[in-house]
Amino acid sequence: MAYRPTWQGHLKLSLVTCPVALYTATNSAGDVHFNLINPETNNRIKMITTDPDTGPVERSKLVKGYEVSKGEYILLTNDEINSVKLESTKTIDIERFVAEDQIDRLYWDNPYFLAPDGKLAQEAFGVIRTAMEKSGQIALGRVVIGTRERILALEPRGKGILAYTIRTDAEVRKPEEIFKDIDDAKADPAMIAIAEKIIEQQEGPFDPSQFVDRYEEALKALIAEKQKGHKPAKVAEPADTNVVDLMSALRASLAGKDKEGGKGKAKPAPPKAAARAGTRKAG
């Protein structure tokens, strides 16, 4: 299957450049997509762009507007927006190398694959990629995707490069703003010891194939039942959990895990899954 690149341009390390293409590293979430339907006619609803004063407007005639005050907009055409050019519009210029653990996981965003664009680019790409690998550090550059300049974190992955967009400081909320109301009381050491044993019982390798979207699977099952003409069964609401005695709950959890089978250790991942388990710890 031929993938369409999200972005094409050049990768630059000092005076060494090569043509590259950037591809999204993930599939769009979910296979179940819904449309709005009028149940009386079974027709799909069409969304019509409408001016509140004059009525429907052709989408091709619309322009973008930036609101400077209530009801007042600066209008920009696509040509005007595209006229804003930065070097990062067409070039990923590596500016800095940093240790991976210096980038807080809060800042890691979306993953991409970076590959040479054409056979003539492969030699220079290989030089840059191998030098990055030997450095053992993360390369930082910038790229314009859509209408935003994003920081890119680059690291070798297989024969290519894994690229992550990095959020700016303004995009990340300060944890203290959310955690400020958590009290400073120390947890009971005996309870912590039991919780640690529960954690130990649930340890195991990361195998992404073991994690599926159960909600989407349930939606697919619901759709399949309706296709057969079956009336969906009513699902019971989950019972509310009201832990009155935390120590009793911890002990019961520990005992339950013991009954499930010895120490209850997670099964080792099969060789293929274990190979896939070497994913970025910061992602």
Q: What is the pLDDT along the chain (283 residues), one digit of tens a residue?
A: 678 999 999 999 998 999 999 999 998 767 788 899 999 999 999 989 999 999 999 988 899 999 999 989 999 988 888 788 777 789 999 999 999 999 999 999 999 999 999 999 999 999 999 999 999 999 999 998 877 899 999 999 999 999 999 999 999 999 999 999 999 899 989 999 999 999 998 898 988 888 888 888 888 888 888 888 888 777 777 666 666 688 888 888 888 867 665 544 445 544 444 443 344 544 4
Which domain does 199 fall in, by range?
A: 187-206+253-263
One domain, residues 107 and 191: no
β-bridge pairing 96-98 and 91-93: unpaired
pTM of the model: 0.72
pLDDT of residue 273: 41
Say yes or no: 23 and 105 in one domain. Answer: yes
**199 inside domain:** yes
CB-CB contact of 135 with 125 (8 Å) = no
Residues 6+ apart with CB under 8 A from 46: none
21 in Cβ contact with 115 (< 8 Å): yes
Count of structural domains within the chain: 2
If you search the block for the tokens 């052709």, which residue do you land on?
58
Position 55 in a domain = no
If asked whether residues 258 and 132 sit together in one domain, one would say no
Do residue 108 and residue 158 come from a single domain?
yes
Tell me phi and psi for residue 122, to 5 degrees.
-70, -35
Structure tokens at 44: 């799909």
CB-based contacts of 112, cutoff 8 Å, min separation 6: 6, 22, 23, 24, 25, 152, 162, 163, 164, 165
Q: Is residue 108 part of a domain?
A: yes
Residues 142 and 259 in one domain: no
Does a structural domain hold residue 2?
Answer: no
Phi/psi of residue 165, each to 5°? -70, 145
Are residue 94 and residue 201 in the same domain, yes or no?
no
